């Protein structure tokens, strides 16, 4: 395994720490399931934990553990009514196996072998961090009110104290945000084993090279990237890397290389997944596109159900995959691009925001309501020309020779009240197309802490989340891409 | 112990153990694609809280906010998870003891609301109160159906 230049000890320690958490979560879930046996969501969660255990174990080559996790998963999946006592016995078996594993863990250089490498860090539930951020945000809002009172009184001493509190508060908020960031190294390293094993299962040779392991990413993003990265790596091995003799014949090293590279670029995190394989099969994509009646483009591979494989392998070819990847990346407010060169390989470039907790937004208002539009989509603001109807929900305007369709948020969201005589248009861009959002007022750009709308509502189309304004009121964050897409669908119907 | 409050002149009761706090009514942020009884969301110390207008849910039209309007924050269980939800009330009445034997099955009609929303009718010395089944009356199923319908059948533009 030396050729992979990996720190297996560290990988192993991560596995054991993660496995302990998954086992504990499984156990707690089983106990909860005894109370509510029909909770489908809970069962899915149990399955996820068992699946993670299996995957992680096979990553570190702990095959007996993986095999047991596999049968465990099957038990969770098959029966209608779960045999909870038997499953709880299984939990004990997991723990015993893990105990044995820990005892045989590769020795650390200092000779400390019986325990995990210990550093002065602790594991913290992300919810706790979120709550801290909530409270910091609340303090900021209350401080706004205090500031108003103080400035009304004109007490210089108080103003100075307030200024210092302000600074400390900002620092605190910044620290909490930074605490959510974790290095991508452990995530990347998990794939080393995947690459090797999958390649050899297909009679290929491949190795993983990782770069930028210290680059930090929001912890939620790391979790949500796990599956998309797995998909892309599987694809790279299945479709990209050629058989050793083919590679040799083309003057390439018989061992294929898959590279995971993370770096900071222009206020975003960029992750590249590249292989030095054959590149996308353009002919197959074009043929498939024609048979589906779609336009030919490399981006087609991101469409649902798109596959060029005539046969389904255990790895890929089912046509699920790249569209799932694209959606996962979009849900992280990121984007995905593809670059491919025949005979030289394929590179996927993921661009992700630095943090998921904050958003650069543009505030707009109609009536009593304020909304936040993600800044990345905002192109410009113009006044709605006189003579445009004041009652319609949608319309078009001419913007420097370009016809731009618009939607009036007041009508779309049924705010009621009278449309003012002057209105503004916030122009956004998605893909190549522009669209306008007609509002009463433009409040300008600012940073906003993102809050989920809560579990009471399911995902509401067109709403990406919420944020709390300086006034203490809640403002909804608009998912302009979905709003525009829905309007286009209605228009087409 | 129960907290009682008025909605459209009718007195309702909620188990006090489910009531987290009572706050003054403030302007609520509307949430699109939700049914009329979802008044919207408010900020409760940094958490986003849904506010439900039971008058609208019971088919009596939306509640107009007045000086005594308040939001009763209650705990409800949805899919095994405890969530906080705000209930709009025209006014809060009192905290009373209602013994189990004072609570009777609601009659099949005449209460003006669906029987399964009620845990029973509380017989007090001089009045009747409608004891709410918090989990049933606040079940988000109907809301989720409306949201899903909004996706499938967009309104006319």
State the average pLDDT over residues A268-273.
90
The rounded distance, in Å, linking the Cα atoms of A113 and A271 is 35
Query: How would you class A51 by CB atoms within 10 Å of its CB: exposed for 0-12, middle for 13-18, buried for 19 or more?
Result: middle
Best residue of B30, B46, B52, B154 to probe chain A, by most A CBs closer than 10 Å: B46
CB-CB contact of B20 with B75 (8 Å): yes
**Percent of chain B predicted with pLDDT > 90:** 54
SS3 at position B98: coil
The CA-CA-CA angle for residues A416, A417, A418, to 5°, reads: 125
Confidence of residue A308 (pLDDT cuts 50, 70, 90): low
Q: What are the chain A neighbours of B42 within 8 Å (beta carbons)?
A: 473-474
Q: Which residue of A has its CA nearest to B42?
A: A474
Contacts of A456 in chain B (CB under 8 A): 50, 78, 83, 85, 140, 143
Mean pLDDT of all residues in A179-208 = 87
Residue B135 lies in a domain: yes
For the segment A363-392, the average pLDDT, to the nearest whole number, is 88
A315 pLDDT higher than 50? no
Mean pLDDT of A299-321: 52
Q: What b/e sequence results for B95-105 when a residue is b if at least 16 CB atoms lie within 10 Å of its CB, and e otherwise?
A: ebebeeebbee
Task: State the residue range of the domain holding B99.
Answer: 2-152
**Residue A106: pLDDT band by 50, 70, 90 thresholds?**
low
Round the average pLDDT of chain A to a whole number and report it: 81
B47, B70 Cβ separation under 8 angstroms: no
Which residue has better confidence, A145 or B157? A145
Does the pLDDT value for residue A44 go beyond 90?
A: no
Please tell me the predicted confidence (pLDDT) of residue A292.
64
Q: Which pLDDT score, from 0 to 100, does residue A266 have?
A: 66
Q: Is the pLDDT of residue B33 over 60?
A: yes
Q: What is the pLDDT of residue A343?
A: 87
- Give the pLDDT mean for A456-478: 85
User: What fold does the segment set A358-492 form as a domain?
Assistant: OB fold (Dihydrolipoamide Acetyltransferase, E2P) (2.40.50)
**Mean pLDDT throughout A90-100?**
85
Local confidence band at A313 (pLDDT 50, 70, 90 cut-offs): very low
> What total number of domains does chain B contain?
1
Output the pLDDT for position A16.
84
pLDDT score of B151: 62
Res A314: pLDDT: 41
pLDDT level of residue A446 (50, 70, 90 thresholds): confident
Please report residues of A whose CB lies closer than 8 A to that of B80: 32, 35-36, 39, 41-42
Mutating which of B28, B32, B34, B45 best tests the A interface, going by the most A Cβ atoms within 10 A? B32
DSSP A9-26: HHHHHHHHHHHHHHHHHH
- Tens of pLDDT, residues B15-26: 999 999 999 998
B157 domain-assigned: no
pLDDT(A116) > 80 = no
Report chain A's terminal Cα–Cα distance, integer Å: 58
Give CATH for domain A182-353. 3.30.565.10
Q: Is the pLDDT of residue A320 over 80?
A: no
The pLDDT value recorded for residue A309 is 52
Q: Residue ranges per domain, chain A?
A: 2-103, 126-180, 182-353, 358-492
d(CA A320, CA A304): 7
Whether residue A305 has pLDDT greater than 70 = no
Question: From the CA of A209, how many Å to the nearest CA of chain B?
Answer: 43
Q: Which is more confident, A105 or B57?
A: B57
Residue of A nearest to B77 (CA): A456
Asked whether residue B136 is domain-assigned, the answer is yes
Tens-place pLDDT, residues A161-189: 888 888 888 788 888 888 888 889 889 98
Quick: pLDDT tens for B60-72. 888 898 999 999 9
Selected for mutation to probe chain B from A33, A472, A474, A483 (highest B CB count within 10 Å) is: A474
A457 with B30: Cβ contact below 8 A: no
- CA-to-CA dists, residue A312 to A36, A275, A425, B145, angstroms: 38, 21, 49, 37
- Minimal Cα–Cα distance from A468 to chain B, Å? 7
B84 pLDDT higher than 90:
yes
| ipTM score assigned to the predicted complex | 0.87
Supply the pLDDT for residue A335: 82
| pLDDT value, residue A404 | 93
Nearest CA in chain B to A38: B79
Q: Angle at the Cα of A140 (from A134 to A143), degrees rounded to 5?
A: 140
Examine the pLDDT at A438 and tell me if it is beyond 80.
Answer: yes
The verdict on B69 touching A (C-beta cutoff 8 Å) is: no
pLDDT number for residue B11: 94
Give the residue among A91, A18, A30 at the shortest CA–CA distance from A55: A18
The pLDDT tens digits for A355-375 are 777 778 899 999 989 999 988
d(CA B156, CA A493): 11
Contact criterion met (CB < 8 Å) for B50 and A457? yes
The CATH number of residue B37's host domain is 2.40.50.180
Residue with tokens 């007490």: A155
Q: What is the CATH number of domain A2-103?
A: 1.20.120.160
Residue B68 lies inside a defined structural domain of this protein: yes
pLDDT over 50 (residue A317)? no
Q: Residue B157's pLDDT band (boundaries 50, 70, 90)?
A: very low
CB A372 within 8 A of CB A388: no
């Amino acid at each position: 395994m030396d050729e992979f230049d990996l720190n297996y000890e560290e990988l192993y320690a991560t596995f054991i720490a993660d496995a302990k958490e998954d086992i504990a979560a499984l156990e707690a879930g089983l106990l909860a399931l005894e109370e509510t046996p029909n909770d489908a969501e809970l069962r899915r969660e149990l399955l996820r934990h068992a699946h993670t255990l299996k995957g992680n174990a096979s990553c570190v080559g702990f095959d007996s553990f993986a095999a047991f996790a596999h049968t465990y998963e099957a038990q969770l999946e098959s029966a209608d009514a779960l045999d909870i006592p038997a499953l709880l016995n299984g939990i004990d078996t997991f723990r015993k196996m893990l105990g044995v594993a820990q005892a045989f863990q590769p020795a650390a250089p200092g000779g400390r072998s019986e325990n995990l490498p210990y550093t002065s860090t602790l594991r913290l539930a992300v919810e706790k961090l979120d709550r801290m951020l909530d409270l910091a945000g609340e303090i900021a809002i209350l401080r706004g009110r205090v500031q108003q009172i103080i400035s009304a009184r004109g007490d210089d001493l108080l103003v100075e104290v307030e200024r210092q509190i302000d600074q400390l508060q900002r620092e605190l908020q910044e620290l909490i945000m930074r605490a959510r960031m974790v290095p991508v190294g452990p995530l990347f390293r998990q794939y080393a084993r995947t690459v090797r094993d999958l390649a050899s299962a297909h009679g290929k040779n491949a190795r993983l090279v990782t770069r930028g392991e210290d680059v930090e990413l929001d912890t939620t993003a790391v979790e949500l990237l796990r599956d998309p990265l797995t998909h892309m790596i599987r694809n790279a091995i299945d479709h990209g890397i050629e058989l050793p003799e083919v590679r040799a014949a083309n003057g390439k090293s018989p061992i294929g290389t898959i590279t995971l590279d993370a770096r900071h670029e222009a206020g975003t995190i960029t992750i590249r997944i590249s292989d030095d394989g054959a590149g996308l099969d353009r002919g197959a994509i074009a043929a498939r596109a024609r048979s589906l009646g779609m336009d030919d483009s490399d981006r087609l591979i991101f469409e649902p159900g798109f596959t060029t494989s005539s046969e389904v392998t255990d790895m890929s070819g089912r046509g699920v995959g790249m569209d799932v990847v694209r959606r996962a990346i979009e849900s992280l407010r990121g984007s995905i691009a593809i670059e491919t060169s025949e005979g030289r390989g394929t590179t996927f470039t993921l661009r992700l925001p630095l943090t998921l907790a904050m958003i650069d937004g543009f505030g707009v208002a109609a009536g009593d309501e304020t909304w936040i539009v993600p800044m990345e989509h905002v192109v410009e603001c113009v006044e709605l020309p006189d003579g445009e109807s004041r009652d319609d929900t949608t319309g078009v305007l001419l913007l420097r020779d370009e016809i731009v369709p618009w939607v009036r948020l007041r009508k779309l969201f049924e705010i009621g009240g009278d449309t003012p005589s002057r209105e503004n248009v916030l122009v956004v861009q998605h893909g190549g197309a522009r669209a306008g959002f007609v509002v009463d007022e433009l409040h300008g750009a600012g940073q906003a802490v993102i809050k989920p709308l809560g579990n009471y509502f399911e995902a509401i189309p067109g709403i990406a989340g919420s944020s709390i304004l300086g006034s203490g009121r809640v403002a909804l964050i608009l998912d302009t891409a979905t709003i525009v897409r829905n309007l286009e669908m209605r228009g087409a119907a | 112990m129960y907290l009682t409050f008025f909605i459209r002149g009718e007195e309702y009761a909620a188990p006090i153990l489910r009531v987290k706090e009572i706050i003054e009514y403030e302007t609520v942020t509307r949430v699109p694609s939700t049914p009329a009884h979802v008044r919207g969301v408010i900020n409760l110390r940094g958490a986003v809280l849904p506010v439900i207008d039971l008058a609208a849910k019971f088919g009596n039209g939306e509640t107009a906010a007045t000086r005594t309007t308040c939001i009763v924050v209650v705990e409800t269980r949805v899919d095994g998870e405890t969530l906080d939800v705000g209930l709009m009330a025209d006014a809060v009445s009192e905290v009373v003891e209602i013994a189990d034997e004072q609570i009777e099955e609601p009659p099949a009609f005449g209460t003006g609301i669906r029987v399964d929303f009620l845990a029973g009718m509380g017989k007090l010395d001089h009045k009747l109160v409608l004891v709410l089944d918090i989990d049933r009356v606040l079940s988000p199923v109907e809301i989720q159906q409306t949201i899903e319908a909004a996706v499938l059948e967009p309104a006319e533009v």
